[in-house]
Structure 1
């Protein structure tokens, strides 16, 4: 019986691709010092350099300032703007709160394990309005370890007071989320992501609401 469901954040609960595009468009429109640049060029290049979140933004903005010869703003100022303002551009995946509501109503414990900067990720979780659903939230910067390190999964399970075989992990990354969870004895659902061709998950879903029949109709919960 499944007693706990653990989630990744970016690409699983937070539609990061949509959020990044919303933010970077907004950043360009808000900051007059960027308006001598082509809006489309600024947006496209940021998305390229960001590499779907796997390059931290200090490197991205350093490259942007150099390539576009931006003089009105430093890379540090652009990074500070990103850190403080990104939360206002957070876009959830469809059926997010509906899915969490159903799980909580069944008495299932919920957790988030996210790689990333601590306060930044927590601000994004709060911006989605979902912090109260979760019994524990672990963010790699604050934990001193990150997925796929098995210890961060084990810590979350310990805080939830469940065994690996009583829990299921949902994430978009085939290695850091799915395989890492499976290696410690958890079942795993892959939130499909176009950035990856294949994934050896126990199940795969396109929409968050699809996890409910997996857990409930298959008598896992």
Structure 2
């Protein structure tokens, strides 16, 4: 019997990559308006190269970008970029369709809900609170909680422990086959691949189930619980 549902956060509950790209575009436009002499496409390539090296959550990306581009940090340009980024982030940070409805339906069935994310703790909570999702979840496990990233079993095991359920009593929903699905599957958690959030064109997820809409999760849970 399924007693708990564990969700990945980015690209499973919220459209993170769409938000990130819009925020970066807005930041670059703001920095150019503030006096930065650079082509928009060139700036975007440089910023994403930093993310590729440092990780998509790297918080000093504009500092490094300006140091590499100008040889120093021009604080007028820097501040303009940060403000542009934050405004666009707030405007573009949205859940996927039917997320709130699906979470409500799961809670009505008495299931406990958790998030397991590789994001830094503060960033994960900021996203959840910005979307008023924080009250839906009994447990939120982020990178700082174990020092390990998926597919390492540690984040999944911590979530199970805090939820008070066994692996066979939980189901994991995620968009990244190699991390979300493989990591959960290896410790005996049933898995659901969120195809709607997949940006890499995954052909074989290895999941027990695949869904095109998060609401498709409801009949899966109902059938599992007979």
Question: Into which bin does the TM-score normalised by the smaller protein fall?
Answer: 0.7 to 0.9
- Which of 162, 166, 170 is 1:163 aligned to? 166
1:201 aligns with 2:204: no
Shift of 1:100: 0.6
1:125 to 119, 128, 148: 128
Question: Could you report, residue by residue, the CA deviation over 1:119-147 in whole angstroms, capped at 9, with x for unpaired residues?
Answer: 12211111121010000101112332322
TM-score, reference length from structure 2: 0.81
Count of residue pairs brought into register by the alignment: 220
Structure 2: runs of 5+ lacking an equivalent: none
1:155–1:213 Cα change, 3 Å: same
Does structure 1 residue 212 correspond to structure 2 residue 215?
A: no
CA distance in 2, matches of 1:213, 1:93: 18
Distance 1:78 1:172 in 2: 33
Further displaced range: 42-51 or 205-214: 42-51
* 1:145 aligned residue: 148
| CA-atom RMSD in angstroms | 3.2
1:2 is matched with 2
C-alpha deviation, 1:40, in angstroms: 4.5
Matched residue SS, 2:6? strand
Q: TM-score, normalised by structure 1?
A: 0.83
Relative to 1, partners in 2 of residues 1:80 and 1:115: Cα closer, same or farther, differing over 3 Å? Answer: farther
Runs of 4 or more consecutive aligned structure 1 residues displaced over 6 Å after TM superposition:
74-86
Q: Secondary structure at the match of 1:111?
A: strand
Q: Structure 1: give runs of 5+ residues left out of the alignment.
A: none
> Which residue is 1:57 aligned to?
58
SS at match of 2:127: helix
What is the aligned counterpart of 2:183 among 180, 183, 192?
A: 180
CA, structure 1 residues 7+78, in 2 after alignment: closer, same or farther (shift >3 Å)?
farther
Q: 1:46 — aligned with what?
A: 47
